[in-house]
Amino acid sequence: MIAGSTCDANDENCNFAVARVDSSGVLDATFSGDGKQTTDFGANDEARGIAVQADGKIVLAGPKEVGTSTRYAAVARYNTSGTLDPTFSGDGKRVIKLANPVWANDVQIDGTARSS
């Protein structure tokens, strides 16, 4: 699994991006039809942490930037097929205000770090 962001030509309006590759490094077309998925939280957001739950669901976390000085933690959960998981927060994504500014840089599941 690969996580990060995709942005427009001006390096703005960024969205979470996740891709799944097979053991040879080829995009896995069983994931979202082409191996890639993006998620828009509005404004600029960037996936910086990724973890895979025991059931195969994928969790991404990172900062969501609103304007030049307001930042929140954003979290998205995907089904193994690459679709957002609506059993997580109703639509598969959640924005959490912890403090301002905040940068979510990793994600952890069940008290065990899975990736960074």
User: Greater confidence, 19 or 43?
Assistant: 19
What's residue 94's pLDDT? Answer: 93
Give burial (CB, 10 Å; 0-12/13-18/19+) of 58: buried
Q: Name residue 114's amino acid.
A: R
DSSP letter at 80? T
Predicted structure pTM score? 0.84
Angle at 37 between CA 80 and CA 43, to 5 degrees: 130
Question: 71-116: per-residue pLDDT in tens?
Answer: 788 999 999 999 999 999 999 999 988 766 666 777 877 755 444 4
Q: Are 95 and 89 in contact (CB under 8 A)?
A: no
DSSP letter at 77? E
| Cross-strand pairs, 95 | 74
